[in-house]
Amino acid sequence: MLTACVESLTACLPEIKELIPTHYEEISEHKTRGIPLDPNFDLYLARDARGEVIFIGLREAGKLVGYLVSFITPGLHYKTCLTCISDIFFVYPDSRGLQGGVLLFQEWLREGERRGADLMSAGFKIKHAKHVRPLLEAMGFFEAEVMFWKFLDKEQI
């Protein structure tokens, strides 16, 4: 049985590091450009120490099998709007299809509400849209923005 709960990113970092390579292999566009995975853990830990991180752990029999990491701060454009923006979320492939995504987002919404968030924002990679979009829409989220990327060829700059 899967369970999701608010945990400390700092305390869970060793477990998170075990899942990150699988997450990177599955979704990273950076790897196609030869950009290695190199998280800025110091920045994550500093933001966690300031209370700006919401980390939801997804566990099966006590083992971390998924996570949702987000940042909660006043908005840059609307400083009176406490905004929670998802950074990353992941459910280990062997644990998918068991409502793990639903559990992660439900717990995230509860924690955001508990902390007084005004806006919860979640993004996802387009190649996962067919799975994630219906989940978020069923939870009351609406599509509000589209983002485009362009990797710059450093030799041309």
Predicted confidence (pLDDT) per residue in 64-102, tens digit: 999 999 999 998 999 999 999 999 888 887 777 778 888
Q: Is residue 155 part of a domain?
A: no
**89 within some domain:** yes
Instruction: Kindly state whether residue 154 falls inside one of the protein's structural domains.
Output: no
Question: Residue 98 and residue 132: Cα distance in Å, rounded?
Answer: 14
**Does residue 68 sit in helix, strand or coil?**
strand
Cβ count within 10 A of residue 76:
8
Category of 34 on φ-ψ map: left (φ > 0), alpha (ψ -120 to 50) or beta = left
| 130-140 pLDDT tens trace | 777 888 888 78
Cα(77)–Cα(83) distance, integer angstroms: 10
Residue 112 has pLDDT above 60, yes or no: yes
User: What is the model's pLDDT at position 31?
Assistant: 82
Q: What is the pLDDT of residues 15-31, one digit of tens each?
A: 999 988 888 877 787 88
Helix (H, G, I), strand (E, B) or coil at 93: helix
- Cα dist from 14 to 8, 64, 92, 141, whole Å: 11, 10, 16, 31
Structural domain includes residue 151: no
Decide if 35 is inside a domain. yes
Q: What domain range is 88 assigned to?
A: 2-138
Residue 36 has pLDDT above 90, yes or no: no
Residue 157 domain flag: no
Q: How many separate domains does the chain show?
A: 1
The residue behind tokens 């993004």 is 123
Polymer length in residues for the chain: 157
The answer to whether position 152 is within a domain reads: no
107 lies in some domain = yes
CATH code: domain of residue 114: 3.40.630.30
Checking if the pLDDT of 7 tops 80, the result is: yes
